[in-house]
A and B are shown apart, each in its own frame.
Chain A
Amino acid sequence: MSTIGKRKSHESAEGHVTGNAIYTDDQRLPAGMLSLYPVLSPHARARITKLDVSAAVQVDGVVTVVAADDVPGENNTGVILQDEILFPTEEVSYWGQAIVWVVGETEDAARLGAEKVVVEYEPLQPILTIQDAIAAPSFHNEPQVIRRGDPEITLQQAVHQLEGELEINGQDHFYLETQVSWVIPDSEGNYQVYSSTQHPTETQIIIARVLGIPNNRVVVTCLRMGGGFGGKETQANPVASVAAIAAHKTGRPVRLKLKRDHDMILTGKRHGFWGQYTVGFTDEGKITALDVTLYADGGWSIDLSPPVLLRAMLHIDNAYYIPNLEVRGRIAKTHKVSNTAFRGFGGPQGMIVIEDILDRIARTLNLPPDRVRERNFYHGVGETNTTHYGQDIVDNRISRIWQAVKANATFDERREAIDQFNQMNAYKKRGLAITPVKFGISFNKTQYNQAGSLILIYTDGSIQLNHGGTEMGQGLHTKMLQVAAKSLGVTIDRFRLMPTSTDKVPNTSATAASSGADLNGQAVKDACETLKSRLAAVAAKWLKLDSPEELVFENDWIYCRTYPTAQVRFEDVVKQAYSDRVSLSATGYYRTPNIYWDAKTGKGRPFYYYAYAAAVSEVEVDGFTGTFKLRQVDIVHDVGESLNPLVDQGQIEGGFVQGMGWLTMEELVWDDKGRLRTHAPSTYKIPTISEIPEHFTVHLLERAAQDGVIYGSKAVGEPPFMLAFSVREAIRDAIAAFGQPAYVPSYVPLASPATPEATLMAIEQIRAAALTSTVMEGDRQLSPL
């Protein structure tokens, strides 16, 4: 029986709960394994005037120190542009940048050695904020523009017009397993690398580049990751590269697992953004025109910032039809970590701007925010159902989901109850909000939308399954097993899911952009189809049938559709195939059809389809402290015909909570010298179980099969992250209520993240405005109490 669509537990769940699941750092260490420890820059920007490692190498147990001179290839790990120096020699570009790495027999020895490295600096003035970068000016790229209609004229003509800005913070990935790699060199010049990487192929390419050797000499293997979230897409590369250089220099295996503090100090994060907007709208709250500028804080090197910014620009509309729109984007170059991929990949930073605006429009017009959102949805056909970059939204499910979640959450009744509660309570206020998500699925860069697989059947009927995707907890391997078992008509126990390795499936894309199951699933199925047609021929001969097309593969049997009694066991056919000299291994391949993007015009069909979802959240905010409690969450999510509802539900819940962390408590604090002050879980707070409400429902949209995607399923990795906007909007709703009954604010500015401090400051602003308004606005005045 096929497990497609079943709540099948994670394929490694038993390994997880027993501690038997092996992670990169857990592999038995070969004798002679060396460890690394970094020397970090104490300045955000400085010239290096002296580097002296002589005392370090005297330390007991220190083997050597690796530095720029030890790089046989290029001293650069940049992926889009080669602007990412691995070992800086002239200038340091962010606080905590690693200058050299000490190699020790033990980590202790390496650490003691690192304390003895002497580096002298001449500090320079760093650029630490987007605003500073604009003033400098200091950018990574030219301004990007996407445009539809005529925003200038329509803005002028708009009945209402508002201007505003929004600063959005970054976010640390805080995967539980920090970055880790180890490298085994051999005497023939080959390197076996084990790396916790979402992109083994790129890690391979970068290692080959820094070593100055062809790609085929480097094999990168990823067993499984203890979380990724985008943070191990490019950020695994420098870690693996340093280990590779050290392995090259010493000829010995070298291991590097970053300490939590080092991980948070050294690696890139979600981009902070700064958005400025002018919006025009009608009396009903319909947006007629929008002009937005988005600045992304790229950090010191460009990394993946261009596609991150592009996704932000392409998601500025979220689920809303905006007839006239210009969005400009630019990447600020600052002296901070190089910001990188993180679940949503810029999408959240674009979408939060429009959500912030819609709430403001609603309050300006004194209309319910949910109604204003609804009125602006993409709808109908043609123009009103087409994005600003010209993609037709085929299969628009926004309204359907919206209605479903409103009903599940009894939104209207609760709205009333909350208004009543707020009238009765002066010191705590409740807020309720509903927000939608529309998220484009596919890599923006068309060439990444391809995948491969390799299936090896052995003569006993056991099978190895390889595909190009990596497992970071998202359940990709589980889904691939389900797909392979269904496609081949065999039980799932026949398979061993192999570690992702560049010597099995070459030239893979990152496991990212929520696309892992879509792309690799099709590639796995393709390989299965190849094997099936070969085996069908063998089985047909065995069963003495004329046409192999008649054969059905199911539950480890191969039988004839029209004469089901004509049947043979899968493993017997496999043995026969071997005797008949029929190949029992096959590769599979897939590329996403019908997508294209014209970077010059900013138009195209970059996404194969859209994922949709909506959430209703209710909060209670304490007026003394600004703390909030999340009281209830209801979600409806479109995952197509779910391959595995248990896994998909886990993605939705986990994504939502991670988004909530970003928006409400995870605060990255840099001081005025550019030093990150929050680089451990003692200072950087991600949600715990106690922040999760008892009432939290997730419904998967029914009758939702998606055409042209593996078994009708849909991507689910990133979209739920943005459902957490409903929490932020609910907090704003509660803050607004602190002005009542005297004052109904037309705008609730709220800093991000909405920490207790930010929330209390916002409440104070409303309270202050309420006080003056009761004095000034005689006509709108309502008597207190």
Chain B
Amino acid sequence: MSDSCLTLTINGESVRLNDISPTMTLLDYLRRIGQIGTKEGCGDGDCGACTVAIVAKGSKGQPHYQAMNSCLIPLGSVAGQEIITVEGVANGQLHPVQAAMVKMGGSQCGYCTPGFIMSLFAAYYDRTVDDVSVEGNLCRCTGYLAIRRAAQLIAQAKPQDQFTERLAQATLELNSICYITSNQQFYRSTRLSEVLDLLQHHPNATLVAGATDLGLELSHHRKHISVMVSLEAVEELNLLTDTSEFVEIGAAVPLSHIEDKLRGVFPSLDEMLHWFAARQVRNRATIGGNLGTASPIGDLPPVLLSLEAQVRIASATGERSVMIADFFKGYRQTDLQPGEVIVSVKISKHLTQGAIRRLSQSYKVGKRGTDDISIVAAAFVIDLDEHNRIVHARLAYGGVAATPVRAIAVEQGLLGQPWTIATIQQTKRDLKDGFTPLTDLRGSADYRKMLVANLFEKFFVEMGGATIHPLEVG
């Protein structure tokens, strides 16, 4: 069974698309049909000028408006969904978000403005208007202060209008899709078994979840994808289980949901999610995608390595689990075999035997604090016994090798050591030469080495270790 068309709703109007590439980005499509309010500033997901809002499921299952970068989204991914662009926000008169921006001088050249409006629009109905809601929007003119003042004007609002009404009527369940053109096929399934079946027929199919990595290929036309299989709607991949024993995160759960639902469970995960890209990307990006991409500078792998997560993988022939440390095989290579899909990531909550407390945190250093790719990312877990001795240590890093890695020798050396500055100082020396990172545009090898060591000390200090003057210890 195949659909001859894709349907979507744009600003309340339903459109049926035939004969259009399912991998065309939503931004290209909008501009092609004359909806030119939405701008392209980069095509990379980095500037937010292309932001639109989509009616989607929130972390509590409620319908809400979600900001996303239209430059990264393939049309197939938004099929059946409702999209609001900047043109659809005013209704005879300016929307409160728009009026606030006008009043406070939030636009200068105005090119970034539609994107800010849409980010603020989504946050307005979520009642989460703050800096974070627009940190994925770049503005080169205003210096953001006037935009922040505009945001403050609407931050306390309790909206009740046609947009809240529309949400109340929204249908959220994504349907299955099988859309075939002369040279492309796009599938969206709701069941894992269907996906695994499809992969048997199309061993070279490209899996897509949030498309925040794949979207780059599309927006830069670097890749022709003939068969695309969307995992976004697969039920089994959208589960998030939090028990007293463990947490299991479905591979297709958007990061913003993980952020909301697991807040407080794993401090290192909270921290890393906070620094992961920006709101629009977190709304779409998934943990499965982050692992599937297998980037050496992916931010979640160090956290998962430190927490010793297990990756659950399924294929038509069955299921298996692999320890995260065994998942990364080489530069951009994973243990995934053709026909396999990441189902979930499972993290135990248990302390190591003999431990009475756990210290754990993660760190990310980029040229820019917000929305940057890591120079080095690190995640640490230290379990201590009642004598403050280390009974378990995990030090994981991104950005220092061809894959995310652990400092295994150092971890072993730490066992049985007291959790003191002397131990840290000793460890720092070993850590500094533990890896041979590269020099690239983001940072030099030397800097990376320093970070590998310094971040561990920073962890010690921030976990309440005795402060000591650096001059004393060299």
Binding site for B on A (CB under 8 A): 7, 9-10, 12-23, 25-26, 28, 108, 111, 173-178, 224-229, 259-261, 426-427, 472-475, 622-625, 627, 629, 646-647, 649-650, 653-658, 665, 667, 669, 677-678, 680-683, 685-692, 696, 738, 742, 755-757, 760-761, 764, 767, 770-771, 774, 784-785
Min distance, Cβ A30 to any Cβ of chain B, angstroms: 13
Q: Given A225-B109, A229-B140, A785-B472, is A176 in contact with B454 using a C-beta cutoff of 8 Å?
A: no
Closest B residue by C-beta to A23: B111
Closest B residue by C-beta to A628: B369
Among A623, A625, A677, contact of B441 (Cβ-Cβ < 8 Å): A677
**A226 near B142 (CB under 8 angstroms)?**
no
Chain B residues lying within 8 Å of A655, measured Cβ to Cβ, are 143
Q: In the complex the two chains form, what is the Cα distance from A684 to B43 in whole Å?
A: 14
Does any Cβ of A come within 8 Å of B340's Cβ?
no
**B142 near A17 (CB under 8 angstroms)?**
no
**A785 near B143 (CB under 8 angstroms)?**
no
Min distance, Cβ B44 to any Cβ of chain A, angstroms: 5
**Considering the complex, which residues of chain B in the window 370-419 have a beta carbon less than 8 Å from any beta carbon of chain A?**
370-373, 375
- What are 19 A-B interface contacts by the 8 Å CB criterion? A7-B105, A9-B103, A13-B107, A18-B86, A19-B86, A229-B140, A260-B41, A472-B109, A473-B111, A624-B457, A650-B105, A653-B142, A657-B143, A658-B140, A658-B143, A665-B367, A687-B368, A688-B370, A757-B375
Chain B residues lying within 8 Å of A658, measured Cβ to Cβ, are 140, 143
**A680 near B105 (CB under 8 angstroms)?**
no
Closest B residue by C-beta to A112: B221
Q: In the complex the two chains form, what is the Cα distance from A474 to B87 in whole Å?
A: 24
Closest B residue by C-beta to A653: B143
Q: Given A657-B144, A688-B135, A696-B145, is A771 in contact with B42 using a C-beta cutoff of 8 Å?
A: no
**A260 near B43 (CB under 8 angstroms)?**
yes
Closest A residue by C-beta to B99: A17
Chain B residues lying within 8 Å of A20, measured Cβ to Cβ, are 37, 87
Q: In the complex the two chains form, what is the Cα distance from A547 to B94 in whole Å?
A: 47
Does any Cβ of A come within 8 Å of B318's Cβ?
no
Closest B residue by C-beta to A8: B105
Closest B residue by C-beta to A645: B105
**A473 near B110 (CB under 8 angstroms)?**
yes
Q: Given A18-B87, A426-B470, is A624 in contact with B140 using a C-beta cutoff of 8 Å?
A: no
List 19 other contacts, CB 8 Å, given A16-B107, A624-B457: A16-B101, A18-B98, A23-B111, A224-B110, A227-B140, A427-B467, A622-B458, A624-B451, A625-B363, A653-B143, A654-B142, A681-B46, A682-B44, A685-B367, A688-B138, A742-B471, A756-B365, A760-B447, A760-B454
**B39 near A681 (CB under 8 angstroms)?**
no
Which of A16, A20, A627, A669: most chain B CB closer than 10 A? A16
Closest B residue by C-beta to A13: B102
**A177 near B46 (CB under 8 angstroms)?**
no
**Considering the complex, which residues of chain B in the window 18-53 have a beta carbon less than 8 Å from any beta carbon of chain A?**
34, 36-39, 41-44, 46-47, 49
**A16 near B113 (CB under 8 angstroms)?**
yes
Min distance, Cβ B90 to any Cβ of chain A, angstroms: 5
Chain A residues lying within 8 Å of B373, measured Cβ to Cβ, are 682-683
Among B86, B131, B375, B447, contact of A761 (Cβ-Cβ < 8 Å): B447
Among A10, A175, A691, A692, contact of B140 (Cβ-Cβ < 8 Å): A175
Closest B residue by C-beta to A676: B441
Q: In the complex the two chains form, what is the Cα distance from A23 to B37 in whole Å?
A: 10
Which of B34, B105, B109, B134: most chain A CB closer than 10 A? B109
**A756 near B367 (CB under 8 angstroms)?**
yes
Chain A residues lying within 8 Å of B132, measured Cβ to Cβ, are 690
**A646 near B105 (CB under 8 angstroms)?**
yes
**B461 near A686 (CB under 8 angstroms)?**
no
Chain A residues lying within 8 Å of B467, measured Cβ to Cβ, are 426-427
**Considering the complex, which residues of chain B in the window 441-474 have a beta carbon less than 8 Å from any beta carbon of chain A?**
441-444, 447, 450-451, 454-455, 457-458, 461, 467-472, 474
Min distance, Cβ B230 to any Cβ of chain A, angstroms: 24
Chain B residues lying within 8 Å of A771, measured Cβ to Cβ, are 471, 474
Chain B residues lying within 8 Å of A683, measured Cβ to Cβ, are 373, 441-442
Chain A residues lying within 8 Å of B141, measured Cβ to Cβ, are 176, 227, 473, 650, 654
Does any Cβ of A come within 8 Å of B211's Cβ?
no
Min distance, Cβ B345 to any Cβ of chain A, angstroms: 25
Among A229, A689, A757, contact of B447 (Cβ-Cβ < 8 Å): A757
**A176 near B39 (CB under 8 angstroms)?**
yes
Q: In the complex the two chains form, what is the Cα distance from A178 to B441 in whole Å?
A: 23
Chain B residues lying within 8 Å of A15, measured Cβ to Cβ, are 110
Chain B residues lying within 8 Å of A7, measured Cβ to Cβ, are 105
**A690 near B131 (CB under 8 angstroms)?**
yes
Which of A175, A681, A696: most chain B CB closer than 10 A? A681
Chain B residues lying within 8 Å of A770, measured Cβ to Cβ, are 471
Min distance, Cβ A441 to any Cβ of chain B, angstroms: 20
**B94 near A18 (CB under 8 angstroms)?**
yes
Q: In the complex the two chains form, what is the Cα distance from A204 to B37 in whole Å?
A: 28
Which of B87, B141, B470: most chain A CB closer than 10 A? B141
**Considering the complex, which residues of chain B in the window 233-281 have a beta carbon less than 8 Å from any beta carbon of chain A?**
278
Q: In the complex the two chains form, what is the Cα distance from A261 to B47 in whole Å?
A: 13
Q: Given A225-B109, A691-B368, is A650 in contact with B455 using a C-beta cutoff of 8 Å?
A: no
**B146 near A653 (CB under 8 angstroms)?**
yes
**Considering the complex, which residues of chain B in the window 125-140 have a beta carbon less than 8 Å from any beta carbon of chain A?**
131-132, 134-140
Closest B residue by C-beta to A107: B221
Does any Cβ of A come within 8 Å of B360's Cβ?
no
Does any Cβ of A come within 8 Å of B85's Cβ?
yes
Among A647, A653, A742, A785, contact of B145 (Cβ-Cβ < 8 Å): A653
Does any Cβ of A come within 8 Å of B67's Cβ?
no
**A259 near B367 (CB under 8 angstroms)?**
no
Chain A residues lying within 8 Å of B38, measured Cβ to Cβ, are 19
**B109 near A227 (CB under 8 angstroms)?**
yes
**A689 near B131 (CB under 8 angstroms)?**
yes
Chain B residues lying within 8 Å of A627, measured Cβ to Cβ, are 365, 369
Chain B residues lying within 8 Å of A691, measured Cβ to Cβ, are 368-370
Which of A175, A226, A784: most chain B CB closer than 10 A? A226
**A784 near B138 (CB under 8 angstroms)?**
no
Does any Cβ of A come within 8 Å of B192's Cβ?
no
Q: In the complex the two chains form, what is the Cα distance from A757 to B441 in whole Å?
A: 12
B99-124: CB near A (< 8 Å → 1, else 0) gives 00111011111111110010000000
Does any Cβ of A come within 8 Å of B148's Cβ?
yes
Chain B residues lying within 8 Å of A622, measured Cβ to Cβ, are 458
Closest A residue by C-beta to B132: A690
Q: Given A682-B373, A784-B469, is A175 in contact with B109 using a C-beta cutoff of 8 Å?
A: yes
Q: In the complex the two chains form, what is the Cα distance from A771 to B368 in whole Å?
A: 30
B69-108: CB near A (< 8 Å → 1, else 0) gives 0000000000000000111011000100110011101111
Q: In the complex the two chains form, what is the Cα distance from A771 to B108 in whole Å?
A: 50
**B46 near A473 (CB under 8 angstroms)?**
no
Which of A21, A176, A687, A784: most chain B CB closer than 10 A? A176
Q: In the complex the two chains form, what is the Cα distance from A26 to B86 in whole Å?
A: 14
Min distance, Cβ B273 to any Cβ of chain A, angstroms: 15
Min distance, Cβ A329 to any Cβ of chain B, angstroms: 29
Among B46, B107, B365, B470, contact of A10 (Cβ-Cβ < 8 Å): B107
Among A108, A625, A692, A742, contact of B144 (Cβ-Cβ < 8 Å): A692
Among B87, B105, B368, B468, contact of A426 (Cβ-Cβ < 8 Å): B468
**Considering the complex, which residues of chain B in the window 308-345 have a beta carbon less than 8 Å from any beta carbon of chain A?**
none
Min distance, Cβ B155 to any Cβ of chain A, angstroms: 14
Closest B residue by C-beta to A12: B110
Min distance, Cβ B424 to any Cβ of chain A, angstroms: 12
**A226 near B109 (CB under 8 angstroms)?**
yes
Q: In the complex the two chains form, what is the Cα distance from A532 to B189 in whole Å?
A: 72
Chain B residues lying within 8 Å of A229, measured Cβ to Cβ, are 140
Min distance, Cβ A363 to any Cβ of chain B, angstroms: 19
Among A175, A225, A689, A738, contact of B135 (Cβ-Cβ < 8 Å): A689
